[in-house]
Structure 1
């Protein structure tokens, strides 16, 4: 796989999406923005369907970027550069004459949950909807709930397409869904955060869910979505939140991380030889563990936490860090949370998952930074 920038003129582009995917991947991996954007423009010049380029070419290339990062074959900097190039490829497509469609349908708002910075899935959906003739307000990454609702009142869209890739943003997604529906606007949820088959989208009260941009556009186009009835409360959806475990774990997150870091000096002696940078990375990993624990408490879903622990173990192994560093951390965290039965049960399940590994049922959307 070449990592040299290509500057020679490109020949005609194959209409086979697999061939175009491979060529785009080479350019993205090499950090060659010129070749990547030229490939997309040339494909449209040669008659490639714009929607197919978005869904069958750019989206799979971006998914591979995440896989390569997870396997430690791309650095964080390379992953960020690759994502930026894919975003530029989408922009190049949107400006091409073949992708210009007059808006003849209703208005749709596309936004990411507040705290969600993976904006490319939402951008892909926005462009697919535009290609199909919708008027689209694409609000991008990290949209605060209050600003989103103000936009809905001002513009009156037919629905909101809400995207999230980070499972830890699901409590915020719940608040966002509830606020949009209270404003009388239905919500179609999408993104890896909402779990296999969209199970968390249904749990959190979304009006619909779709696995990808094409299926989301198909659903919006073909399945009527009724305006919601305002008035339901979040606790109506998740009565287990009455026990306050989610709230307490969330509020004490910094203290929990500090306590476990102190305890690891005794429970996992190898950490004493860590550099300052390694200790900082360990603290970041602990913070992610607490975040996923809190989210699993919010949803009352053990699989979300145990899948994340198994995924974290695989990430550590790919980076040469022993996965047996995780059980001591989970034990220490359980000791800090001994008065919280649901939390301690989840931590025990996480430790058991490492001891008896099985395939992860889905990529638990911590994904790449």
Structure 2
């Protein structure tokens, strides 16, 4: 059989096409790699996912706008759909898996990559897509009776709904695999929330699926006091963001004629407030304090890349401590782990 040629330096070619907004070139590149015998997992992880990580870093450094990032994501989704069409031609040789994003999780690409990776390995996958409602997952559990559930969670604000997925899946004995940046670099948060297994990436998801038990026990209850405070904090989230927005000097600074020196800081001010409160909520929910300093470092990096004053992060720490007076556990976490 004649071996088709594989495009040279596919990651660079893919990245060049991203920068030029050339979806047709990306489609042609991915099709050429698959036709040339490159494994779908390699295309997914070494090209599409690798390029998308660099896109995120460019936004982080202030080199790309939100619009450019969104356009790149749309092209990555198109590229992944090409891989999906390819792997759907492979025979099903294993059990069935429902793949979903936690509710409030709109980053659909990671779940789609896992869906394609598992399908390439012979799993019969059903992809539910972005921000899946727990009720919808329940319905699929009843209708499809899958052998496993796989959930992608990129943002900390989706961890509470991911816990509801874990409760729903394990309540009927179905093992659940979780992954994504919201879970960090190890299985600590996954175990705390009662997940059956955790994977760092698509390759890890394939390996984890092979070792899942057939049936699992319902997830254990979360610690009462921390879970109650986290739920209350979640209910109060919008009010707290509005309060901090009024008081944080970063927001005031970008509404003055001199605001140009801060470039696009206003674009990230609200995001920073949401993310730091979500980090506190995640720490309460999982008992893992690391999301708080990690999010603080992320905010500090954003400020540096946009010529903002890092002292504004110290100011924010004090504002959050004051705003969380009614939440003793959360306030203690902020005082201990957000101080810079």
TM-score of the aligned structures, taking structure 2 as reference length: 0.89
Aligned residues of 2:292 and 2:338 also touching (Cα < 8 A): no
Residue 148 (structure 1) shift: 0.3
Paired residue for 2:329? 342
Flag the 1:310–1:100 CA change in 2: closer, same or farther, 3 A. same
Residue 305 (structure 1) shift: 0.9
Paired residue for 2:7? 14
Structure 1 gaps of 5+ residues are 1-10, 355-369
| Distance of 1:319 and 1:186 partners within structure 2 | 44
| Distance of 1:133 and 1:268 partners within structure 2 | 51
Residue 95 of structure 2 is aligned to residue 106 of structure 1 = yes
Aligned residues of 1:69 and 1:79 also touching (Cα < 8 A): yes
Residue 229 of structure 2 is aligned to residue 241 of structure 1 = no
Paired residue for 1:260? 244
| Distance of 2:200 and 2:265 partners within structure 1 | 37
- Pairwise CA RMSD: 2.5
Residue 183 of structure 1, aligned match among 172, 183, 197: 172
Aligned residues of 1:306 and 1:349 also touching (Cα < 8 A): no
| Distance of 1:142 and 1:252 partners within structure 2 | 21
Deviates more, 1:147-156 or 1:288-297: 288-297
Aligned residues of 2:96 and 2:123 also touching (Cα < 8 A): yes
Aligned residues of 2:107 and 2:130 also touching (Cα < 8 A): yes
| Distance of 1:229 and 1:261 partners within structure 2 | 43
Structure 2 gaps of 5+ residues are none
For residues 75-95 of structure 1, give each alpha carbon's deviation from its aligned partner in whole angstroms, at most 9, with x where no partner exists.
111111101111111112233
| Distance of 2:208 and 2:244 partners within structure 1 | 46
Secondary structure of the structure 2 residue equivalent to 1:138: strand
Aligned residues of 1:175 and 1:234 also touching (Cα < 8 A): no
Secondary structure of the structure 2 residue equivalent to 1:95: helix
| Distance of 2:158 and 2:84 partners within structure 1 | 29
Aligned residue pairs, count? 332
Aligned residues of 2:44 and 2:113 also touching (Cα < 8 A): yes
TM-score of the aligned structures, taking structure 1 as reference length: 0.82
| Distance of 1:47 and 1:145 partners within structure 2 | 39
Paired residue for 1:228? 216
**Which consecutive segments of 4 or more residues in structure 1 shift more than 6 A?**
277-280
Secondary structure of the structure 2 residue equivalent to 1:142: coil
Aligned residues of 1:149 and 1:183 also touching (Cα < 8 A): no
Paired residue for 1:30? 20
Flag the 1:128–1:93 CA change in 2: closer, same or farther, 3 A. same
